[in-house]
Structure formats: C-alpha cells, structure tokens
C-alpha cells in the first residue's frame, strides 16, 4: 500500500519547490520555500524529531515555540514503527498530528553514527538493527520508497556521511559513491512526485577540491535544494567554519541551502552569514534533557547549586512558556528531582531560543543589520567571552 500525501495538502502544488529570495545582507539570504504542507520562512532552524517526535514535546508545544518544520529519520522510522504502517496511517503528518512540513533524513547520518553495525557497498548500506540485531538493506531506491511512505515534504538522498580524519583517497571515492546514489535517488523519485521535494547532499570531507567536485556533480542533477553534509563530525570549529565559508557561497544561489546537523547558536549564525538557509540539530533538545539551557545571557546549567534559591526567570528576555511561568529555582528542582516535566519545559525553552535566534536573523537580514546581530551573539557565546555561565 502506498500513501499519497497530496491528499491532505495545504498548499497550491503549482508553486511546489519555489524558492524566493526576499532580501540579502552580504551572503546572508532572507527567503521562503514552498512545500506541500506550507511555506517555510528562511533562514530556519528545524527541531529534530527522529522517531516521529521531538523528544519531550507535543505538537502544541512546538507550535507555541514557533516551529515551522521538523525532522524525522528514515532509518529509525523504518525500524519502528515501520514505513508501511506509517503509510497505512496516512503518513507521518497524520499519524503524529503534525500539520506543518516535515523533512526526513535519509539514514546517511546513521552510516556515520552506527558505523560499527553497518556495511557499505556500491548498492547501498546494510544495517544491523540497533534494536534487535536484525539485518536491513538500504539502497538509494529503498530509502526513497521509505520516505514516500513517511510522506515527508523534503526528502534527503542516501549519502555516506564520512567520519573526520578520513584520508583524501577514501573521501574522494566516498563522494563519488554519494553522487551515484544521489542520481539513483533522483531516478527512483521523479521530480515532485507525491508533492515531495528532494535535496542532494554535498560531501568531500575537509578537502576543498573534493567538496567542489561533489558540488559540481550534484548540481548536474535536478534537485530542489542542496545540503552540506559531513560537518560537525569531530573537526575543530575553525576547520568547520573554514569549509562552510568556502563551500556555501559556491552552492546554487537560486535553491535552498541546508547545513545538516549544525549547530550551536554561533554555528547557525556563521552558517547564515555564509549563505545557508536551513539548519537542524539535536543540540537544543538533547542539551535541554541534560540540563544545559541557552539564554540571551549565555548557557545556563540549570543543575548548578547557585540556582537553588534563584527566583528569577531562566531568561528575562524570552517569551516562552517556561520563562514566563517558572523560576530558575523551580526549574533546577525539577531537573535535579528527575521530574518528567523538566525535560518538557527545558526542551520548550531551548527550541524557543533557537527559533527566536533565526527569527531575529530573518529580521536583521531584511533590515541590513545581520552583522550587528551576529556580533551581539558572539559577545555572549564566544569562548572566553562569557560562553558558559553568566
């Protein structure tokens, strides 16, 4: 059984994939992208909901925090609950009651993160399930089919996310493989079939000529957008920024640019400054569950003893439910006591913080003052500049 997501579309399909740039400020772009479930205003941060849920948050929480689009993951959703079940339930949107756009990662990151339990070949990736050890084969065609069943608005091609430290020869061969897989994904999924967009993924490790080669090959294929993969895999911040600044401006200007898996508030601003439009990262939600909260004054580890009696809000400049309602002392208590609502309140805040950040970036670009906005955040978050704790 196949699922046709066009059944419950909210958008005029004639504009599908349309990417309109409304303003620029240096390399930074203020734009919008039309998907089957709505128009995304960029630059945007996309909360990660690997298993069909942004951990600890319900759709209402996400909407209240201002989320426009969330992620799902092909590998995880295939294993559980299964893409065919999702198709029977009307796709992930209907199953999870999330009416806005969804982007699905292809499983390419699991090639990196689950490298102990997978085998690569020309035809695809064989994974051993991290849940029960069973074997599963992900070809580019299979990954397209799974994402069809999930019904995501933006699908990603299967790629090999190369680990940091890979040598030149390996990285070169890997990028060629990623290109061949990208072509097969495009062939398996004709443009805008089911109202679903498809993005290619740039690889090439930390070799600029390989990154450029990857980009040249990918741009010959008709994708709706292009992603930078293989960053934030263990390299230093300067190495990441150096590659980002090199490759992002070379990407097609008339298509959305997506920096996968990045990053911290400063990483995101660096990316926007280099011309990137879309970001996703587990950092706000994972850190929230581990007690690290982002505020306009810097990072706050809510577990710290100094907040035991602190009646002030987490972030006086934040409009989120958590900051409007509770004191740091109470949030600390909830976290230390391991209360479940702690994970929700913390996640809600961190997501709101990241979404506020990109909203401010959009406004700043429109007003030609992006550099000032970035400088303000660097002031707060740069190492040795008050990064840690206020």
Partner RNA sequence: UCCCCGGUAGCUCAAUCGGCAGAGCGGGUGACUGUUAAUCACUAGGUUCGCGGUUCAAGUCCGUGUCGGGGAG
50 binds RNA (CB under 7 A): yes
Q: Work out which of 17, 204, 230, 256 binds RNA, going by CB under 7 A.
A: 230
Distance separating alpha carbons of residues 30 and 51, to the nearest angstrom:
30
> Are the CB atoms for 40 and 11 separated by under 8 Å?
no
Question: Which CB, 116 or 311, lies closer to RNA?
Answer: 116
**For residue 60, is it left (φ>0), alpha (ψ between -120 and 50) or beta?**
alpha
Q: Work out which of 260, 276, 318, 348 binds RNA, going by CB under 7 A.
A: 260
Catalytic residue among 25, 61, 83, 105: 105
* Residues paired with 71 in a beta bridge: 48, 103
Q: Work out which of 52, 124, 140, 291 binds RNA, going by CB under 7 A.
A: 291
Q: Rounded to the nearest whole angstrom, what is the least distance from the CB of residue 306 to RNA in the complex?
A: 6
114 binds RNA (CB under 7 A): yes
CA distances from 116 to 110, 120, 171, 313, 340 (A): 10, 11, 19, 44, 32
Distance separating alpha carbons of residues 268 and 273, to the nearest angstrom:
8
Question: Which CB, 149 or 264, lies closer to RNA?
Answer: 264
261 binds RNA (CB under 7 A): yes
Distance separating alpha carbons of residues 357 and 206, to the nearest angstrom:
28
159 binds RNA (CB under 7 A): yes
Q: Work out which of 16, 262, 348, 373 binds RNA, going by CB under 7 A.
A: 262
* Residue numbers 188-217 binding RNA by CB under 7 A: 201
356 binds RNA (CB under 7 A): no
* Residues paired with 32 in a beta bridge: 20, 41
DSSP SS3 for 158: coil
Q: Work out which of 285, 295, 322, 356 binds RNA, going by CB under 7 A.
A: 285
Distance separating alpha carbons of residues 265 and 341, to the nearest angstrom:
25
237 binds RNA (CB under 7 A): yes
Q: Rounded to the nearest whole angstrom, what is the least distance from the CB of residue 103 to RNA in the complex?
A: 8
Q: Work out which of 13, 85, 117, 253 binds RNA, going by CB under 7 A.
A: 117
Q: With contacts defined by CB under 7 A, how many residues of the chain interact with RNA?
A: 59
Q: Work out which of 187, 209, 306, 317 binds RNA, going by CB under 7 A.
A: 306
Q: Rounded to the nearest whole angstrom, what is the least distance from the CB of residue 317 to RNA in the complex?
A: 21
Neighbours of 331 (CB within 10 A): 27
282 binds RNA (CB under 7 A): yes
281 binds RNA (CB under 7 A): yes
CA angle 151, 155, 159 (to 5 degrees): 140
232 binds RNA (CB under 7 A): yes
Q: Using N-to-C axis directions, what is the helix angle for 265-273 and 370-381, rounded to 10°? A: 150
Residue 152 CA, distance from chain mean position: 14
Catalytic residue among 61, 83, 277, 280: 280
Cis peptide before 88 (omega within 30 of 0): no
1 binds RNA (CB under 7 A): no
DSSP SS3 for 137: strand
Q: Which stretch binds RNA (CB under 7 A): 17-25, 114-122, 145-153, 318-326?
A: 114-122
Distance separating alpha carbons of residues 69 and 83, to the nearest angstrom:
20
71 binds RNA (CB under 7 A): yes
Q: Work out which of 61, 105, 153, 315 binds RNA, going by CB under 7 A.
A: 105
CA distances from 325 to 81, 300, 311, 312 (A): 36, 17, 11, 10
DSSP SS3 for 316: coil
89 binds RNA (CB under 7 A): no
* Residues paired with 135 in a beta bridge: 128
Distance separating alpha carbons of residues 23 and 25, to the nearest angstrom:
7
Active site residue 8: no
286 binds RNA (CB under 7 A): yes
User: Annotated active-site positions, please?
Assistant: 105, 280
Chain residues that interact with RNA, rule: CB under 7 A: 48-50, 54-55, 71, 73, 76, 105-106, 108-110, 112-114, 116-117, 130, 156, 159, 161, 201, 227, 229-230, 232-233, 237, 260-264, 267, 280-283, 285-287, 289-292, 299, 301, 303-306, 308, 336, 338, 340, 343, 388-389
């Amino acid at each position: 059984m196949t699922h046709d997501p066009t059944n419950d579309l909210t958008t005029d399909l004639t504009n599908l994939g349309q990417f309109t740039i409304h303003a620029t400020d240096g390399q930074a772009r203020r734009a919008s992208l039309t998907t089957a479930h709505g128009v995304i205003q960029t630059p945007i941060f996309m909360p990660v909901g690997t298993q069909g849920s942004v951990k600890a948050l319900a759709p209402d929480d996400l909407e209240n925090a201002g989320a426009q689009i969330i992620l799902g993951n092909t590998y995880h959703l295939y294993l559980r609950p299964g893409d065919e079940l999702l198709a029977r339930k009307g796709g992930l949107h209907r199953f999870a009651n999330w009416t806005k756009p969804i982007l699905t990662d292809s499983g390419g990151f699991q090639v990196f993160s689950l490298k102990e339990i997978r085998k690569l070949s020309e035809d695809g990736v064989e994974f051993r399930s991290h849940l029960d050890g069973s074997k599963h084969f992900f070809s580019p065609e299979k990954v397209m089919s799974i994402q069809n069943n999930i019904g995501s608005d933006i699908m990603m091609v299967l790629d090999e996310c190369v680990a940091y430290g890979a040598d030149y020869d390996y990285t070169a061969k890997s990028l060629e493989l990623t290109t061949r897989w990208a072509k097969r994904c495009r062939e398996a999924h004709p443009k805008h079939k089911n109202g679903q967009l498809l993005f290619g993924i740039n690889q090439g490790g930390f070799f600029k000529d390989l990154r450029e080669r990857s980009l040249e090959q990918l741009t010959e294929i008709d994708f709706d957008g292009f992603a930078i993969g293989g960053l934030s895999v263990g390299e230093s911040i300067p190495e990441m920024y150096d590659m980002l600044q090199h490759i992002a401006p070379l990407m097609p200007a008339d298509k959305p640019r997506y920096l996968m898996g990045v990053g911290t508030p400063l990483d995101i601003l660096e990316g926007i400054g280099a011309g990137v439009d879309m970001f996703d990262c587990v950092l706000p939600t994972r850190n929230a569950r581990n007690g690290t909260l982002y505020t306009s004054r810097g990072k706050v580890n809510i577990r710290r003893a100094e907040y035991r009696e602190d009646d002030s809000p987490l972030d006086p400049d934040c409009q989120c439910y958590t900051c409007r309602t509770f004191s740091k002392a109470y949030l600390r208590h909830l976290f230390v006591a391991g209360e479940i609502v702690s994970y929700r309140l913390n996640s809600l805040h961190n997501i709101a913080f990241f979404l506020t950040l990109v909203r401010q970036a959009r406004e700043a670009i429109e007003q030609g003052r992006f550099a000032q906005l970035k400088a303000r955040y660097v002031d707060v978050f740069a190492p040795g500049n008050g990064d840690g704790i206020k």
